[in-house]
Structure 1
Amino acid sequence: MERILVVGVTGAGKTTLAQALSSRLGVPYHEMDALYFNGPNWAINNNLTEDVSSLTAEPRWIIDSLGYPEVRDLLWDRADTVIWLDYPKRVIIPRVLRRSFRRTVTREALFGGNRETWTGWLSREHPVWWAWSQHGTRRREVGHRVRDPRFAPLDTIHFGHPDDTEAWLASL
């Protein structure tokens, strides 16, 4: 495990696991959302492909994302390990609700200095709505990718419940 991609739906705990892995394994961690949103008003990084290409050319890295469409294949091509947090909606939705509520109330600064807002909750792009509406689509996409012969050299570690993920992490 030198080039690790942590995947799953919004709210699965990708960032938390990626940070813990980085700490335990001494592998540099890069947050995909911070690479993608690099300015105020959720500005998108126009150099995303170049930035991700440069990071993933390094011998060791951890990135927490299925990957935005522009860089998805690049990430999957260069990873040697995929850790799939494949949790059901009954696990995901309470997590993302708590996280978004906390972020909104505390006005926590996110990627590019952006913040979740109360009016943002009405948007289909809001993490809660995104997690709900994209859950099945994301699960199917990851499932297809881990079975795709193009990515056959990838080691895939698949977790269906957070308890399994925590036990595995504790065993490292």
Structure 2
Amino acid sequence: MPPDSPAPPPLTARRILVAGTSGAGKSTLARRVSNALGLPYTELDSLFHGPGWTPRAEFEDDVRAVVAQDAWVSEWQYTPVRPLLLERAELLVWLDLPTPVALWQVGRRTLRRRLRRTELWNGNLEPPLWTVLADRDHILRWAWRTRHKLRGLDARLAREAPHLQVVRLRSRRAVERWVHSLA
């Protein structure tokens, strides 16, 4: 498939994943796909993060319940549940944006959420901005450290999930074209 293929998913795709690095816009795109196709959306971060940013013990069971449904849209993240998601998914949309774009997006999002004190999942808020200096796993440092984690994803998916259709989007423009093609 060409790198920035704007082709819409087949009409039969009813279980859709969105992959990308931190800040690529996985949740935003998954919501847009959900709305465009009338499919239910589940945000995996909301299932994973309990109060105080503690991982929820029920996370994997909750994901199993989601993927058991006939139709869904979600993000492809959290290593322990990726195989569960891949097994049932029909389409994976890969946001393969340039690193500066993803880092700009995650930085802008983090700043906005912190300044507005936006509640995220289960009462959690973005930590104070200075923690980027002290917390090795602060989202901005995490995004930088893991920016190459999806390198070679197309080859891995061909081996691990040959049934899966993959749409790889490498620019914001390609994302917009693809989303508009769903309407």
State the partner residue of 1:32: 44
* Greater strand fraction, Structure 1 or Structure 2: 1
Equivalent runs, 1:60-99 vs 2, <5 Å: 60-65=71-76, 67-99=77-109
- Correspondence 1:46 to 2:53: no
Q: How does 1:1-172 map to 2 (within 5 A)?
A: 1-37=13-49, 39-65=50-76, 67-118=77-128, 119-122=130-133, 123-136=135-148, 138-140=149-151, 142-148=153-159, 150-172=160-182
Percent identity between the aligned chains?
Answer: 37
Question: What is the Cα deviation at residue 32 of structure 1?
Answer: 0.7
Larger relative contact order (CA 8 Å, sep ≥ 6)? 2
TM-score after normalising by structure 1: 0.92
Find the residue that maps to 2:18 and give its secondary structure: strand
Q: Deviations over 1:112-144 (max 9, x none)?
A: 1101122432312121111111011x2226344
CA offsets 1:7-57 (integer angstroms, 9 cap, x no match)? 0001001111111111110100000111101x2210211011111111101
Q: What RMSD, in angstroms, separates the aligned Cα atoms of the two structures?
A: 1.3
More helix by share: 1
In structure 1, stretches of 5+ residues that fail to align are none
**Aligned pair in 2 of structure 1 residues 120, 41: CA closer, same or farther (>3 Å)?**
farther
1:92-117 CA distance string (max 9 Å, x none): 11111100011111111011110112
Distance in 1, matches of 2:146 and 2:155, equals 15
* Count of aligned pairs: 168
For 1:55 and 1:117, the matched residues in 2 are separated by: 29
TM-score, length basis structure 2: 0.87
What is the alpha-carbon distance in structure 2 between the residues aligned to residue 120 and residue 33 of structure 1? Answer: 20
- Structure 2, unmatched stretches of 5+, are 1-12
